[in-house]
Structure 1
Amino acid sequence: MGMDRNSVIGLLLIGALFVGFIFYQNSISENQKEKYFEENVNRGDSLSKRADVLFIEGKQAFEKSLVDSLKKDSLILAASEILPKARSKFEEAITSYSRALKAKKDEKQPTEMITMLTKKQIEIDSLLKIITPVADSMPVKTDTISSGKEVTVSNDSVAKPALIAPMFTENKKVVSDTFILENSKVKATILSKGAKLESVELTEFKKHPKHEDTRLILFEGDSNVFDLRYFIDRKDVSTKNKVFETKGVIEKADGSKEITLLLYADTLKKKYIEFRYSLPSDGYMMDFEISFNGMKAMMTQGAPVVLNWKMTLPSLEKGYINEDSYCTAYFKANEDVDYLSETSSEDSEEINYKVDWIAFKHQFFSTVIIAKNQFESATISSVKLDDPKENFLKTITASMTLPEPGDGKTSIPFNIYFGPNKYNILSDQGEGLDLEQMIPLGWSFFLMEWINRFAVIPVFNFLEVYIGNYGIIILILTILLKVVLFPLTYKSYLSTAKMKVVKPQLDKALEKIPKEKMQERQQATMAFYKKVGVNPLGGCLPMVVQFPILISMFRFFPASFELRQQPFLWADDLSAYDSVASLPFEIPMYGAHISLFTLLMTISTIIYTRMNMQMNTGPQMPGMKVMMYLFPIMFLFFLNNYSSGLSYYYLVANLITFAQMWAIRRFLVDDNKILDKLEANKKKPVTKSKFQLKLEEMQKRNAKK
């Protein structure tokens, strides 16, 4: 097969698009940087304004305490409560400005704001050194924490536990009771301390064998923070270290298991916060409910009630780099599914409207909290740890604002999904949830989405019923795709063959036109092709049409749950890289291992390129030969840490292409017959399109003028 100029341009276009797509997937564009910068500056401005209000209020309270002896104690206490909040808000603002500087290092405004806010923090610290010792020495009276009796608590005395409700006592060292909710798929551990969802294990699955403990635990222990925050008497209260009461796990008639935990706000046990967890006998979805009973009058009106969930995602798979590039936070808000950057070291999103769900997404598994009546708003952040030795990937934090409690009992229902990122399973969790959009199938481009949803996934699902080896399934899928695309391949080859056989005639015709008259030579070339019936774009367009399929496979294989831990030949996991040798050093952008499938794919692509170059008898564009060999080498670096299933697919596709080219040349295309047909076309009158006729008519009119 000869490589005419248009075919080469087509290949270069595909290569350029493919490389551009890879870079797009692994970097933040300038527009994204601008958006990231503006979002963090705006958030910093908002936080600093709120902090300034608190700072002024706290400072004024302290200054008034110096001159008003009657209200001195209350003013000192007010200042001791307000100023730490102001300092905390200043710290949040500084964090936002620091994030903005990561997008634009040379911007002055964030730097100036950080300097100014740091000075205010120093001033607050100086004030607190004076205020805190005085405030700590004061007795605090309250009648909201007991059963109608006034209790006085000071720093060096402890009130009798019988008179203080659990909501207002805190003991970080208390030993928590542990409870297990378990079904055929999920094992959840819940603590009485904080009513915390301590850990979740998916019992059907295992981590990659490279991990010492192969139990697949989505989160556990200190890497997981789960608490409710609210305000009472303007004080920020957290359930984190509060001890809830419970009667333990109850098994119901339908096989589901449930536990209810209560945190009482009075010793009469009429006012409380309730956490209820319920796990069905089968499935990945847990019911979760937070209820407030009689709490409205106690809680500060207008202050937010926030459910915080901070999770450090552990590594579960073989390839740390590839796995990390698919871990992030997803969320659905305003009918759209969106996500934080998978490749940035830090990213955050402040959502000031209703939110349906938030997901803590691993490469192949997710924890998704779904608000049945939507969250009021949410703030989500992701921080990349970038330390493979620690076996943790990213820390994702979600602060979700809940509706304010009403009179009587207010219940806020949720679902929590713990399970695999498998298309069919996610889409079955609930109509309209769109959880399946967490799988990167190319949702931003409808053609890639359709190819994966309606072609690739159904074929995979059908074949896996009858075939247990996914290497064979990929082989069959590739054959089917190449058969479907064969008409395009044949058309591309035929177009190239036509241009090849008429090239001597074209060269002879162009000898009469000087080389410096490029426009005239191009017009003569197009006229010649039209006369003999050759479409110069015939070899280019079929290649461009195949590009969406190329990218669809690039998206599908690394995210395909079906390939997870599936061995084939020397690869122990088709969803991760295959390694046949480890290097004693690390090569930048390549790694410290050799992926044989990627190496074979690269070699096959180079051989294919060399064959085409040798068969091309025409002149080549300057530097074209180097460029054509450069693309396979670039793919060698890009794909060495990617899914071995992807490299295997590209390798098989190349080998099938070799076979198709041989079959076309051997049985379908005869250069002599093509030349005879083109010679016959010369004798036919050249038909002109309506556009050409109108164009010629306009030219004649202009000539008369």
Structure 2
Amino acid sequence: MDKKAVLALVLSAAVLLLYQIFFYKPVQPSKSQPPTQENGATAVVQPESTVTPRATVSTLPESGDPSARKDAPLAPNSEEKEREVSVDTPLYNAVFTTRGGALKSFSLKNYRETIDAGSKRIELVDVKEGMPYPLSISFPASSIDVSPSSLFSADTVALDLKSASEPRRLTFVQTWPGKIKIEKIYTFHPRKYAIELEIRAYNLSSVPLSQEIALFWNQYVDPEAKEDSYGHTGPVSYVGKSVERENVKKMEASKLLGPDVSWGGFESKYFLAAMIPQNPSLTSMMLSKGSSNMVSTGLKGPKNIIPPGQAGFFGYTLFLGPKDYNILKTLGTDLENAIDFGSWMKWLAMPLLLCLKFLYSYVHNYGIAIIILTILIKILFWPLGNKSYKSMKEMQKLQPKMLELREKYKNDKQRLSQETMALYKAYKVNPMGGCLPMIIQIPVFFGLYKTLLYAIELRHSPFFWWIQDLSEKDPYYITPLIMGATMFIQQKMTPVSGDPTQAKIMLWMPVIFTFLFLNFPSGLVIYWLFNNILSIGQQYYINKRA
């Protein structure tokens, strides 16, 4: 193999080893934007402005005068007692609380923490004692603010949608006589992870109220939890058509992103809790981290003037569920970008994922689907592979003449270069012919790498025998070792030059790749293993013909 081809292989290994540097970006703090008016809601009755959310706690008026302010928001009604309201659907079980009309628990019925059938369901809510719950609201910088811990009245004690075919509603109401009445109306769909939320603010005073709303997702983040080097856990948003992820450990006390926030919330590698405003162009997102390790994400918007006796309406769509591409795509809010395929690789990863899902619809095993996809990719690149192997074979034939030239012109680098190019031209050999086809295939590998690493379809998806989760590493390291052996065989079959340095590099390549793949998802190892087997067959065919 000529030097260029060897360098191409070394480059491939280096790119894999340095993947975290070049393709997996550590979460960087996004640039803070100055406070601007945005919207995460609908319009208010008064046409002077529209509504949206924001964060932090503000003040309240004395009586109904918007100019009169206090140092605390409207307090909870001491006559009410907190109680829970359960919502049971075929997809999830949710528990709401009358304290703030917020969410206390949200467990997914079709997803569990481990592959064991008896393991706990995935829980999207994690808050500690004294912390405000997710989907709590506040009215900062308003004439009247409402405490996130205010106690509401619920119109039911439970909703059962397991056998329902139509949406059902849950309404929380609280009234402060002579000041304001707040309604939080949730609409649930039996077969959807999406929930509609409408918040109504009625002006019960005799003067106009200046109001803006903030809707929060609050989440406790364990500082001692082991980090997943391949997945992000923390705030995520889609701002100006770009995904913004915040590293929880590097978060500032507070930050404002936007405007033009299409959605925002909290994510893990495979699951997402997102708040989607109706008017993204007027919406901004507030981020904060407290001393108790509570991370808060809030949607915020401009002030609205609510005339006496009228109401402001604030609308959102909530998504609480898996990062399934097909499900996210149907919402039409670019929520599918929450799948961490990367800004460059998603154009390859998404089509590969769709192909994988199409194959799965027929074979019902993602391991087999990966093998079939590997065969299809090999067929697609078969002509390039043939050209590469033929070029390496031709370069091998020229090695004796190359050695003669190096010896003859060892003290004249310019003449050596001229004579070498003349030799290539005389024998019609392209020195890049052996490595260029390999380089072209590298993006496809990384696209499939992203697909197999972040596609929730492979999570807890079994193959055969000991491989029961294609998204995790091979528990016994059998497939990486076999993969290393096939790579060693392939290397032995590959034409090599007489350069001893290159020979040593090639000897270590299977060892490097074996160790590299030990902790890779088994689905990716299966792809590389069968790609090697097919390459061995192709190389045997070319060598035999030659």
- TM-score between the two structures when normalised by the length of structure 1: 0.64
Question: Secondary structure at 2:278's aligned position in 1?
Answer: strand
Are the counterparts in 1 of residues 154 and 170 from structure 2 also a CA contact under 8 Å? yes
- Distance 1:168-1:219 versus aligned 2 partners, 3 A rule: closer
User: Which residue, 160, 167, 183 being the options, matches 1:256?
Assistant: 167
In the alignment, structure 1 residue 306 sits paired with structure 2 residue 217? no
In the alignment, structure 1 residue 655 sits paired with structure 2 residue 537? no
Are the counterparts in 2 of residues 145 and 168 from structure 1 also a CA contact under 8 Å? no
Are the counterparts in 1 of residues 112 and 119 from structure 2 also a CA contact under 8 Å? no
Q: How far off is 1:210 after superposition?
A: 5.9
Q: How far off is 1:426 after superposition?
A: 1.1
User: Which residue, 168, 190, 196 being the options, matches 2:75?
Assistant: 168
Instruction: Specify the alignment match of 2:350 in structure 1.
Output: 453
Deviations 1:342-392 (A, max 9, x none): 6x732465214232211322222211110112363212357999xxxxxxx
In the alignment, structure 1 residue 377 sits paired with structure 2 residue 275? no
Deviations 1:385-414 (A, max 9, x none): 9xxxxxxxx964202213434321111111
Flag structure 1 segments of 5+ consecutive residues without an equivalent: 47-87, 90-141, 147-165, 386-393, 581-594, 671-705
Question: Secondary structure at 1:277's aligned position in 2?
Answer: strand
Map residues 204-223 of structure 1 onto 2, 5 A cutoff: 204-209=110-115, 213-220=119-126, 222=128
Are the counterparts in 2 of residues 229 and 305 from structure 1 also a CA contact under 8 Å? yes
Are the counterparts in 1 of residues 219 and 296 from structure 2 also a CA contact under 8 Å? yes
Q: How far off is 1:653 after superposition?
A: 1.4
Map residues 408-487 of structure 1 onto 2, 5 A cutoff: 408-430=310-332, 433-442=333-342, 444-445=343-344, 448-454=345-351, 456-487=352-383
- Distance 1:308-1:522 versus aligned 2 partners, 3 A rule: same
Instruction: Specify the alignment match of 1:283 in structure 2.
Output: 192
Instruction: Specify the alignment match of 2:63 in structure 1.
Output: 144
CA distance in 2, matches of 1:439, 1:287: 22
Question: Secondary structure at 1:543's aligned position in 2?
Answer: helix
Q: How far off is 1:602 after superposition?
A: 3.5
Are the counterparts in 1 of residues 236 and 264 from structure 2 also a CA contact under 8 Å? yes
CA distance in 2, matches of 1:629, 1:328: 42
Flag structure 2 segments of 5+ consecutive residues without an equivalent: 36-55, 66-72
Instruction: Specify the alignment match of 2:21 in structure 1.
Output: 23
CA distance in 2, matches of 1:479, 1:469: 16
Are the counterparts in 2 of residues 307 and 402 from structure 1 also a CA contact under 8 Å? no
Equivalent pairs, count: 502
User: Which residue, 261, 271, 274 being the options, matches 1:368?
Assistant: 274
Question: Secondary structure at 1:292's aligned position in 2?
Answer: strand
Deviations 1:61-111 (A, max 9, x none): xxxxxxxxxxxxxxxxxxxxxxxxxxx99xxxxxxxxxxxxxxxxxxxxxx
Are the counterparts in 2 of residues 604 and 654 from structure 1 also a CA contact under 8 Å? yes
CA distance in 1, matches of 2:291, 2:459: 23
The root-mean-square deviation of aligned C-alpha atoms, in Å, is 3.7
- Distance 1:449-1:384 versus aligned 2 partners, 3 A rule: farther
- Distance 1:18-1:556 versus aligned 2 partners, 3 A rule: same
Deviations 1:468-526 (A, max 9, x none): 22221111111111121111111001001111123333444555x33021121011000
- Distance 1:548-1:233 versus aligned 2 partners, 3 A rule: closer
Q: How far off is 1:204 after superposition?
A: 2.6
Instruction: Specify the alignment match of 1:246 in structure 2.
Output: 154
Question: Secondary structure at 1:574's aligned position in 2?
Answer: coil
Task: Give the letter for the 1:230 counterpart.
Answer: F
Deviations 1:574-593 (A, max 9, x none): 1112212xxxxxxxxxxxxx
- Distance 1:384-1:607 versus aligned 2 partners, 3 A rule: farther
Instruction: Specify the alignment match of 2:53 in structure 1.
Output: none
CA distance in 1, matches of 2:120, 2:488: 40
Q: How far off is 1:297 after superposition?
A: 7.1
Are the counterparts in 2 of residues 575 and 645 from structure 1 also a CA contact under 8 Å? yes
Instruction: Specify the alignment match of 2:48 in structure 1.
Output: none
Question: Secondary structure at 2:470's aligned position in 1?
Answer: coil
Task: Give the letter for the 2:105 counterpart.
Answer: S
Instruction: Specify the alignment match of 2:100 in structure 1.
Output: 194
In the alignment, structure 1 residue 4 sits paired with structure 2 residue 9? no
Q: How far off is 1:528 after superposition?
A: 1.2
Instruction: Specify the alignment match of 1:618 in structure 2.
Output: 498
Map residues 9-408 of structure 1 onto 2, 5 A cutoff: 9-26=7-24, 28=26, 39=31, 144=63, 167-169=74-76, 175-209=81-115, 213-220=119-126, 222=128, 224-231=133-140, 237-240=146-149, 242-248=150-156, 255-266=166-177, 271-294=180-203, 301=210, 305-312=213-220, 321-322=227-228, 325-334=231-240, 336-341=241-246, 345-347=249-251, 350-374=256-280, 376-380=283-287, 396-407=295-306, 408=310
CA distance in 1, matches of 2:246, 2:75: 40
Q: How far off is 1:187 after superposition?
A: 2.3
Instruction: Specify the alignment match of 1:524 in structure 2.
Output: 419
- Distance 1:579-1:428 versus aligned 2 partners, 3 A rule: same
- TM-score between the two structures when normalised by the length of structure 2: 0.81
Deviations 1:99-142 (A, max 9, x none): xxxxxxxxxxxxxxxxxxxxxxxxxxxxxxxxxxxxxxxxxxx9
Question: Secondary structure at 2:279's aligned position in 1?
Answer: strand
User: Which residue, 462, 477, 481 being the options, matches 1:599?
Assistant: 481
In the alignment, structure 1 residue 561 sits paired with structure 2 residue 456? yes
Are the counterparts in 1 of residues 88 and 159 from structure 2 also a CA contact under 8 Å? no
CA distance in 2, matches of 1:464, 1:176: 47
Instruction: Specify the alignment match of 1:80 in structure 2.
Output: none
Q: How far off is 1:23 after superposition?
A: 2.5
CA distance in 1, matches of 2:405, 2:109: 74
CA distance in 1, matches of 2:518, 2:257: 37
Q: How far off is 1:570 after superposition?
A: 1.1
Q: Which has the larger radius of gyration?
A: 1
In the alignment, structure 1 residue 541 sits paired with structure 2 residue 539? no
- Distance 1:617-1:12 versus aligned 2 partners, 3 A rule: closer
CA distance in 2, matches of 1:460, 1:450: 15
- Distance 1:628-1:320 versus aligned 2 partners, 3 A rule: farther
**Bigger helix fraction:** 1
Are the counterparts in 1 of residues 182 and 200 from structure 2 also a CA contact under 8 Å? yes
Structure number with greater CO (CA < 8 Å, separation at least 6) is 2
